[in-house]
Amino acid sequence: MKKLIIASLVGGLILFIWQFLSWSLLGVHTPNLAYTPNQDKVLELLGDNLEEGSYFLPTVKPGTSAAEEQALTEKMIGKPWAIVSYHKEFTMNLGYNMGRGYIIDFLVVLLLSWMLMKFRDLSFMSAIIASLSVGIIGYLSISYLESIWFEGNTIPYLIDTIVSWGLVGVWLGFWLTKR
């Protein structure tokens, strides 16, 4: 149990530190956070027209027939569209958000560590490959799959996947195979 907890605490910290570096100092996600000089106008327009929530524009009203939905789809081919997550006010509780982030990182590494400890003959290399596999499964089934439909840039998330889960795999390969 002690080995599992230490593996998870340190592995969670590795994930947490990489995420901090990736989103802040290294700017890996900068391409997904583009600036527009019209941001004040856009936010004002959104504020005048939207309630808090997430939107796909354009879309049909709830209860619209399949034929009307198909007609809108055909009409929109080659025209602008957007996905908007709108919030009425910006709030920042850095400590709370970072605490939640670390708890999630700890829990995912705890689950991975538990699985790795079930391997009959865990080796350093199999820990790295299994860790990368878990990360790649998450990337492909969430970030990449979403990009298929919504045409987003997932390269920053792929970088995060390979680096963070590779580092976690190195740690777990070292720690969990130690006698």
3-state helix, strand, coil in the chain (%, to 5): 65, 5, 30
Beta strands in the chain (DSSP E): 53-57, 82-86
Q: Establish if 124 belongs to a structural domain.
A: yes
Give Cβ neighbours of residue 49 (< 8 Å, ≥ 6 apart): none
pLDDT at residue 120 tops 90: yes
Q: State pLDDT tens for residues 131-175.
A: 999 999 999 999 999 999 999 999 999 999 999 999 999 999 999
Query: In total, how many domains does the chain have?
Result: 1
Q: State pLDDT tens for residues 27-59.
A: 999 988 999 999 999 999 999 999 999 999 999
Q: Could you tell me the two tokens for 159?
A: 């970088």
Backbone angles phi, psi at 60, to 5 degrees: -100, 160
Domain encompassing residue 132? 2-33+93-176
Q: Establish if 22 belongs to a structural domain.
A: yes
Report helix, strand or coil for 83: strand
pLDDT-based confidence at residue 179 (cuts at 50, 70, 90): confident
pLDDT at residue 89, rounded to an integer: 92
Q: Could you tell me the two tokens for 85?
A: 């997550």
Q: Establish if 141 belongs to a structural domain.
A: yes
Residue 129 to residue 59: CA distance in whole angstroms: 42
pLDDT at residue 86, rounded to an integer: 94
Q: State pLDDT tens for residues 61-109.
A: 899 999 999 999 999 999 999 999 999 999 989 999 999 999 999 999 9
pLDDT at residue 113 tops 90: yes
Q: Establish if 44 belongs to a structural domain.
A: no
Q: Establish if 47 belongs to a structural domain.
A: no
If you average pLDDT over residues 98-125, what whole number do you get? 97
pLDDT-based confidence at residue 18 (cuts at 50, 70, 90): very high
Nearest to 134 by CA among 103, 108, 104: 108
Q: Establish if 60 belongs to a structural domain.
A: no
Residue 175 to residue 111: CA distance in whole angstroms: 15
Q: Establish if 109 belongs to a structural domain.
A: yes
3-state DSSP of 31-64: HHCCCCCCHHHHHHHHHHHCCCEEEEECCCCCCC
80 upstream amide cis, omega within 30 of 0: no
pLDDT at residue 173, rounded to an integer: 97
pLDDT at residue 178, rounded to an integer: 87
pLDDT at residue 124, rounded to an integer: 97
Residue 48 to residue 42: CA distance in whole angstroms: 10
pLDDT at residue 98, rounded to an integer: 94
Q: Establish if 87 belongs to a structural domain.
A: no
